[in-house]
Every structure is written in structure tokens, then in C-alpha cells.
Structure 1
Amino acid sequence: MTVSGEAAVRTRTITWQDPLPGAQAGARMAGLDYLRAMERGELPPPPIMATLGIGLSEVEEGRVVFYADPDEYHYNPIGVVHAGLAATMADSAMACAVHSTLPAGAGYTTLEFKINMVRPLTRDTGRVFCEGRTLHVGGRVATAEARLTDGEGRLYAHATTTCMVFRPGKPGKEQG
């Protein structure tokens, strides 16, 4: 099948590493140490990052930045990047910002998140960055926010999340 003289079929090949050894190592490390090891390439990133072409560019306590280069393989049926790319970047940045504050043995999961798309992404947008920052990290609940911007600081999306935190120790006892 062709469209306007161009081949309609595109291909893309991705590779990734087994995620389980990295996850197991991460369970024994403080969150900040785990994310920094991933940033340095000592631990593999999760396969979702390879699938969507997302990279980790900055990590500090309470703050994480991911980047991506929107391309046509991210497109939805109406010819712009699917909101799922921005949502995945925001969820990852916010959750990892929370993770960066946790001690070894603690975990977390996203309970909910909300994203607002404020302008469309296309393959012509160029590299975008998603910065996640913690707002509050307590004993059982953490909140964070994210902003997705281009290289000139234009806002494309903003988001908030609530994460459940699992801390080592006695069940039901607040620790933070």
C-alpha cells in the first residue's frame, strides 16, 4: 500500500536488557543510588524506555528529568504524538522523583495521576524534557508534579501524582 507515492510501512527495531536483575539490585539500594546507577549505565533502564525512546538525563534527590525526541512512531490516528508519550514521561518523572527520596528497602507505586496536555507534540517539536519534582513525601503517601517542555521552555503538558509508599518495618506503623 502506498500513500501519496511514499511507502506507508515503516520499521523500527528496539533492544533492551532483562529488567529483573536491575529491579532486584534496586530493591537493595536507596532510590537515589539506584537511579544514579541507571543514569550512569551501570543498571539497565526499564524496557518501556527503549520502547518509547525515553532517556534519563538528570537525577537528584526529589527531582528527575527524562527526555525524548517525538517522532512519527509516536503518532496517533490524527497525525500528532499520542498523549501516552507525555503521560508515560510524566508518570515516570514524578514516580522516580519520589523514588529518589526513599531509603533502601522502601518502594512505591502510583495511586493516581492527572495530566493536562496544553499543546500538541509532533515529530517537528524536537527534543522534549519532562521534569518531575516531589511536593511531599510522607510515611505512606507522596505527591509530585511534572512539566513537559521543549528546549526553549515552551510548556506541552503538566501533571500531578499521588504515590503510595511502602517502607520497611512493622505494618501500619508510620515511618516518616
Structure 2
Amino acid sequence: MDKVSREEQLASWIDAEQVARSKLAAPGSMSLAQVSELSPTEFFNGIGQGQLPCPPFGHLVDFVPIEWAEGFFLFQGSPDTRHYNPLGIVHGGYAATLLDSCMGCAIHTRLQRGQGYTTTDLRISYIRALTDKVGPVRAEGRIVHLGRTTAIAEGRIYDVDDRLYAVGSTTCLIMGSPS
């Protein structure tokens, strides 16, 4: 199998983000009751296909959902100077937000209709600084454990060269009863 060049990989990532952005509806919110009426597949596919409002927070930090499956979630975005701290690098909260989002959404993909979750613990390890020169980064979350009342997921942020910027793990409390 031929190895994909960096330029081809970067073009693929940029294309995937443009396609994802083109499908998203305007930012908006749904109530917890509305979300709990949907299965995770209906919810995430509805957002990804522009049938449900895109969560406003994604626009604030400028990242979009790229791919999801049961127990897995992938976001992509490009940090820029809007995300800088006073030291001239991307604020650590940007990476923490991306990781919290991808790990929480990975957990959400495995919940049943009528269930919700909330983060009870978030652990982040920063590997290297993010800047506006990095280009697109991906935040990938995967479930480690899903129980009746808690779930654990791990996540990582990396660039097109597979350089690691941050890793994290979360514990989430599962709320509600399955429908």
C-alpha cells in the first residue's frame, strides 16, 4: 500500500472539514428533553446532515464534527490567534475543550434514548504548544468503559503529521433511564 504524502493528507483533512462545514445548519440549541427523545445516532446524524441546529459552542471555538461511530468521535479545527493566551500560544482551555467534547461525544454515541451524561472528572496532559502555525488539528475520543452509571473515555489531539499536542481522559456520570 502506498504511503500518503503529507500534502495529500493535509488536502484530505481540509476537504473533510469543508464538507462537514457545508452540511452544518445554523447555530442553535435544543432542550435536554428534545435531545433525550433522540437516539445518539439520530442526534449526531441530524447535526452532521444539517437537520438539527449546530451547537453554538462549536462556532465559538471553531471546530466541527468530522466522523462518529459507536464509541468514537472526531472533531477538527484550526487554532488561531483568537484562541491565544497572554504568552502568545493557544490557551490550554482550547485543548481541554476539544478533548472534553470529543470524549463526551464518544460516550454519548453509546447511550440509549432517554439517557444523558455530564463530565465529573477531566484530566489533560499537554505535550506541546498549539499555535496558529499548526494548521488543522483533530481531537479524537474513544470509550474505555461504559457502565450503568459511569463511563470513561480517552482522547488525543494531533496534527496531520500525527504529532501529539495533548491527551486526556474523562469520567462521566450517566443520567436518566433508557427509554
Interval containing the TM-score (normalised by the shorter chain):
0.7 to 0.9
Offset at residue 33 of structure 1 (A): 2.3
Structure 1 counterpart of 2:122: 113
Structure 2 counterpart of 1:50: 59
**Structure 1 length as normaliser, TM-score?**
0.83
Match of 2:29 among 19, 23, 34: 19
Offset at residue 47 of structure 1 (A): 1.2
Match of 1:39 among 48, 73, 83: 48
Give distance in 1, aligned partners of 2:94 and 2:100.
Answer: 10
How much identity, in percent, do the aligned residues show? 37
Structure 1 counterpart of 2:162: 153
Match of 1:97 among 106, 126, 129: 106
- State the Cα RMSD in Å: 1.6
Give distance in 1, aligned partners of 2:52 and 2:83.
Answer: 26
Deviations 1:44-78 (A, max 9, x none): 22211111101100010000000111110010000
**Structure 2 length as normaliser, TM-score?**
0.82
Offset at residue 24 of structure 1 (A): 4.3
Greater alpha carbon shift after TM alignment, 39-48 vs 151-160:
39-48
Structure 1 counterpart of 2:85: 76
Give distance in 2, aligned partners of 1:121 and 1:18.
Answer: 28
Aligned length: 154
Give distance in 2, aligned partners of 1:49 and 1:18.
Answer: 11
Task: Report the structure number with the largest CA radius of gyration.
Answer: 1
Offset at residue 20 of structure 1 (A): 2.7
3-state SS, counterpart of residue 96 of structure 1: helix
User: Which 4+ residue blocks in structure 1 deviate beyond 4 angstroms?
Assistant: none
